[in-house]
Amino acid sequence: MATFSGYRLLPLVSGLLVLAGCGGGGGSSESPELPATEPDNALTGQIAIEAGSRVDWDTMDQLSLIAAEPSVGSQTLPVSFILAGYVSGARGSYGRTNGQFLGFEADPEDIFSVPLAPGETLRLESLGSRAGNPELTLSLLDGSGTNFQTTDRDSPPAEVRLADGYPEQDYSVKVTTGGSVPARYVLVKATTEQFGSLSLSWPDQEFAAEEAIVTLKSVPSAGIAAFSAQTAVMERQLGESDWLMRMPAQALGSATADGSSEARTLAWIAELRKRPEVSSAIPNYRFTTTSTPVDEEMYALQWHYNLINGPVAWQLAPEGGTGVSVAVLDTGLFSPSDSSAWHPDLDANVDPGRDFVDNDSYPEDPGNSVGSSVFHGTHVAGTIGAVVNTMGIGGVAYGSRIVPVRVLGEGGTGTSDDLIEGIRWVTGQSDNSPERAQVVNLSLGGLPEIQQLEDAIVFGVNERDMIFVGAAGNSATSQPSFPAASPNVLAVSSVDGGGRLASYSNFGSWIDLAAPGGDASRDGNNDGRADVVWSTSAVDRGNGFEASYIGLQGTSMAAPHVAGVIALLKQESGQTDYQNIRGLLEAGELTDFSGVRSDQFGFGILDASKALQAIGDVTVLSPSPSQLFLGSETSLAQTVSLSKIGQGSVVIDSVSEAPPWFTVTRSDLPDGTIALEFALEESALEANVSYRETIQVAYTADGVSRSLSIPVVAQVLSDELARTAGDHFVLLVNTQPNDEGLYEAESQVAVEVNNGNYTFRFEPDDGVEPKELYEMAPGSYYLVAGSDIDGDGIICQPGEACAEYPVSGLREVITIEAGQGLEDITMTTSFTRPTISGSSLDLLPRPEFSGYRLLDNSDSPSTNGSKLSQ
């Protein structure tokens, strides 16, 4: 057996013997018969081996020897190593190559004995073979069970970690193949940092054909003079001695006789390096970067990603949860009517799922028969795993796989038995299969505690190391809502853009953590927009539903932020079970935990960056702010501070070139922070047109090349359209203040700015109780308007906008008579107040004025013309 390829090894083996003999050491038992060589024509040398290198006992070169058999023993490995190995599920042939028939032997399993301490990790990288790309499994037998992960050539490496609580000793580690063809692999035990710098492939950076970056030794003029047109074309001067050069047409044919343009470019660069006036010549490498949700077109709307420190987290986990599956138990996914694919911003990340409402394998959300639909499951799935593709949005774990499981039907409602069946299917309990996802999102609730539901969840948590995330519910109550309230589910409450508990969110002792779910009645982050969560959905513009994006609010929107971050953690840490996550949560490692658990936020508001730092010692740069809005109405210049997160060293490699409409200036501050000042070139912008560009900062942190993106959005608005003084309340107030000096409102409407203007409307009182806020009764009033920036229920305080009819400071009483209206009233709002001067002596001081008090709006908010909650 195994003789057909054995001869290939013989010359190599002989060669090694010759070299060993030349070394003069001789005498080793492995090479007793050294051929004699003449010293004067000897090729002598030594080959050192990198520390920790090991090779699998029964690699194919060993198995090809006559009578060789796969090793059945366990190979002992040192404390730290990098091992190359071979496995193949069966004996077979690679086919005939150059007239030779090459075969391979079966070796389905390699077993090692590895010294491990708790927390130490093994990584397996599969390289496949030219016969195929089988799936390999790395298993760690830790005494109480098997900890395993799979990988192949196209997947991230498999990692297994010895969990806390196990003794430091030798453990049995297996590499097995699931395929019938060979695969090469490399097994490494190293620190996380070392993993990051290990590259098993040759560098293959892209570069521009026929171009080179050349640094000249001598003064530029002499250096340039030395070049003839046949050598290089001076394309552009980059620095004092640095030039971008182009390969001349003559060199195209002479550099090499054949080969690709890249090969000829490299040959030309090699020739350039030989020239005496050249200090260095390198290819003009193409800069590539990993896109994250920051690069997506709608990122500017997604305040909720900044709130959880998403941009930094995506640098720490740039693969975005690749290899982790998240089941979304919900209403299914939207599929455009003219397509069999899912929503185009999800489709590439969606795996097969299951429909427990219609009991089939196609979990499509058909929309509602009564009332319109927002495609709830599509929205939730987008927050977790929308694709980063320069379209729409990206999910928190944009590299993860979505497994859609439809358990909610008409109107977004469903039955507990469908939910239980859905969970049992995802965990694999119902058909005794492996789990179909590692994380489960449950943006649903309203159930009491049901034992069968709890049992299904417990199976996933205990038997499959799965993690369940649940929406706490929107009833503004502390009443536990299941399944979120289960001790085996992470219950997520909802916060607005300012990190305040959303007005609707449930709370209580059973809340585990909070995440952004939005609150449309608030603008907590003062970005001028209601705090809703933006994600994938569909809208009907009159011709049926089509894929789109909408903003929603609810704890349903908060939970998938947590599920996405857990997917990132799962990918980065390999094995992370519920107990690990709970431990990190209660230690304050996943949130902005203040040290005191609260019923509103549990252990705090989700912080994706902090969570990822908790599981790995990684150094990255964090930009603040993470995106810029430049413009005539915001600021013409802004500075982004790049701060180092982590203990390692950071070197900025490059900052991408800015477009003509802004400049970027770098400065290094004494405290180590790097500042990038972005300054708008107003003259280069057309008024009322939105511009967008992303600046890429490439840097090296602890030897690992990384990049971050800073989106820059700019717009120069004509002032008329751009004016805004914030959301306004318009009031009819009594003409006499109360005892506190406040003027009480009798009627009230709330308005948003629209093209630099507010439009308001009061309705006459219809006499029907309850009287609506916007209804006005006959009487005498002041007509005023203003903003309530601090939310204290009083407008027109210092720092708040204020308008009085007809002129601020000179308010006049208006009289409303039954059956009569007043139309087209105009007034002006301002943050400034009029001053008394020689030209405005009719103004009177208001020493006791405290503002105008808003009506309590909690009972009967208006539907009349109001876009705001009142």
Nearer to other proteins, 374 or 712 (CB): 374
CB of 264 to other proteins, least distance (A): 56
C-alpha to C-alpha distance for 673 and 650, rounded to whole angstroms: 11
Sign of CA dihedral 593, 599, 602, 604: negative
What DSSP state is assigned to residue 800?
S
Q: Is the peptide bond before 625 cis (omega within 30 degrees of 0)?
A: yes
552 sits in which H/E element: strand 545-552
Q: Are 85 and 185 in contact (CB under 8 A)?
A: yes
CA separation for the pair 439, 159 (Å, rounded): 18
Complex with other proteins: residue 210 or 496, whichever CB lies closer: 496
Return d(Cα 171, Cα 824) in angstroms, integer.
83
Number of residues that bind other proteins (CB under 8 A): 74
Alpha helical stretches, state H, 296-365: 303-307, 310-316
Show the tokens assigned to 564: 């996405």
Sole binder of other proteins in the list 231, 373, 535, 573 (CB under 8 A): 373
Stretch that binds other proteins, among 156-164, 186-194, 306-314, 364-372 (CB under 8 A): 364-372
- Strand partners for 132: 129
Q: Which of residues 178-207 bind other proteins (CB under 8 A)?
A: none
Q: Which of 244, 348, 539, 704 binds other proteins (CB under 8 A)?
A: 539
Contact pattern for other proteins over residues 836 through 865, marking x by CB under 8 A: ------------------------xxxxxx
Residue span 551-570 as binding mask against other proteins, x where in contact by CB under 8 A, dash where not: xxxxxxx-x-----------
CB closer to other proteins, 110 vs 519: 519
Beta bridge partners of 720: none
**Residue 368 makes contact with other proteins by CB under 8 A:** yes
Site string for other proteins, 474-513 (x = CB under 8 A): xxx---------------------------x---------
Strands 628-631 and 704-715: parallel
Site string for other proteins, 389-428 (x = CB under 8 A): ------------------xx-xxxxxxx--x---------
Residues 6+ apart with CB under 8 A from 589: 610, 611, 614
- For residue 634, state whether it binds other proteins (rule: CB under 8 A): no
Strand 109-116 and strand 75-76: pairing?
A: parallel
Nearer to other proteins, 284 or 373 (CB): 373
Q: What gap in Å lies between CA 391 and CA 708, rounded to an integer?
A: 19
- C-alpha 731/C-alpha 816 separation (Å) is 13
Q: Is position 556 annotated as part of the catalytic site?
A: yes
* Closer by beta carbon to other proteins, 412 or else 524: 412
Out of 316, 333, 520, 722, name the contact with other proteins by CB under 8 A.
520
Contacts of 377 (CB under 8 A, 6+ apart): 328, 330, 331, 332, 333, 365, 404, 406, 408
Query: What residues contact residue 48 under an 8 Å CB cut-off, 6+ apart?
Result: none
Candidates 58, 347, 589, 772: give the one binding other proteins (CB under 8 A).
772
Nearer to other proteins (CB atom), residue 181 or residue 520: 520
Instruction: Answer positive or negative: Cα dihedral of 444, 576, 154, 299.
Output: positive
Q: What residues contact 824, with CB distance under 8 A and at least 6 apart?
A: none
Q: Which is the catalytic residue, given 64, 142, 355, 376?
A: 376
By the rule CB under 8 A, 745 interacts with other proteins: no
The answer to whether the beta carbons of residues 345 and 387 sit under 8 Å apart is yes
Q: Taking a C-beta distance cutoff of 8 angstroms, is the pair 775, 870 a contact?
A: no
Shortest CB 473 distance to other proteins, Å? 6
542 counts as binding other proteins under rule CB under 8 A: yes
Q: CB-based contacts of 188: which residues, under 8 Å, 6+ apart?
A: 81, 82, 83, 122, 123, 124, 125, 194, 195, 198
Active site residue 376: yes
Output the CA angle 352-354-355, nearest 5 degrees. 140
With contacts defined by CB under 8 A, name the span among 15-23, 170-178, 667-675, 764-772 that binds other proteins.
764-772
Encoded one letter per residue, x for contact with other proteins by CB under 8 A and - for no contact, window 13-52 reads: ----------------------------------------
End-to-end CA distance of the chain: 85
Burial class (CB in 10 A: 0-12, 13-18, 19+), 770: exposed
Instruction: State the Cα–Cα distance between residues 700 and 698, nearest whole angstrom.
Output: 7
CB of 441 to other proteins, least distance (A): 11
| Interacting residues with other proteins between 581 and 610 (CB under 8 A) | none
Q: What count of Cα atoms within 13 Å lies in the side-chain half-sphere of residue 414?
A: 27
841: CB partners within 8 A, 6+ apart: none
CB-nearer residue toward other proteins: 156 or 395: 395
Catalytically annotated residue among 152, 330, 702, 727: 330
Residue 692 binds other proteins, judged by CB under 8 A:
no
Site for other proteins in 443-472 (CB under 8 A): 443-447, 471-472
Packing angle between helix 416-427 and helix 451-458, nearest 10 degrees?
10
Considering only residues 304 to 333 of the shown chain, the ones binding other proteins according to CB under 8 A are 330-331
CB of 865 to other proteins, least distance (A): 4
Kindly indicate which of the ranges 437-445, 585-593, 636-644, 836-844 contains the residues binding other proteins, using the contact rule CB under 8 A.
437-445
Q: What would the two tokens of residue 620 be?
A: 């990255």
User: Quick one: 297 or 540, whose CB is closer to other proteins?
Assistant: 540
**Of 338, 766, 817, 842, which one interacts with other proteins (CB under 8 A)?**
766
Q: How far apart are CA 689 and CA 706, in angstroms?
A: 33
Determine if the peptide bond prior to 806 is cis (ω within 30°): yes
Pick one of 39, 239, 767, 798: the residue that binds other proteins (CB under 8 A).
767
Provide the minimum distance between the beta carbon of 544 and other proteins in the complex, in angstroms, as a whole number: 8
Residue found under tokens 């044919």: 253
DSSP annotation of 856 reads P
Tell me how far apart the alpha carbons of residues 762 and 746 are, in angstroms, rounded to a whole number.
11
Q: How far apart are CA 512 and CA 308, in angstroms?
A: 16
Kindly state the smallest distance separating residue 417's Cβ from other proteins, in Å.
Answer: 10
Q: Which two tokens stand for residue 386?
A: 């929308």
DSSP state of 839: T
Pick between residue 268 and residue 758 the one whose CB is nearest to other proteins: 758
Q: Does 636 participate in binding other proteins (rule CB under 8 A)?
A: no
Using CB under 8 A as the binding rule, whether residue 231 contacts other proteins is answered as no
By CB under 8 A, residue 530 contacts other proteins:
yes
Choose between 126 and 537: whose C-beta lies nearer to other proteins.
537
Q: Measured from the CB atom, is 5 or 441 closer to other proteins?
A: 441
Give whichever of 493 and 580 is closer to other proteins, judged by the CB atom.
Answer: 493
According to the binding rule CB under 8 A, does residue 525 interact with other proteins?
Answer: no
Q: Pattern of binders to other proteins over 148-177, x per CB under 8 A?
A: ------------------------------
Among positions 332-351, residues that touch other proteins (CB under 8 A) are: 335, 337
Catalytic, out of 139, 556, 787, 808: 556
Minimum Å gap between C-beta 869 and other proteins is: 5
Report the residue from 205, 250, 372, 647 that binds other proteins according to the rule CB under 8 A: 372
Comparing CB distances to other proteins, the nearer of 82 and 492 is 492
Cα–Cα distance for residue pair 114/574, rounded to 1 Å? 18
Catalytic residues: 330, 376, 556
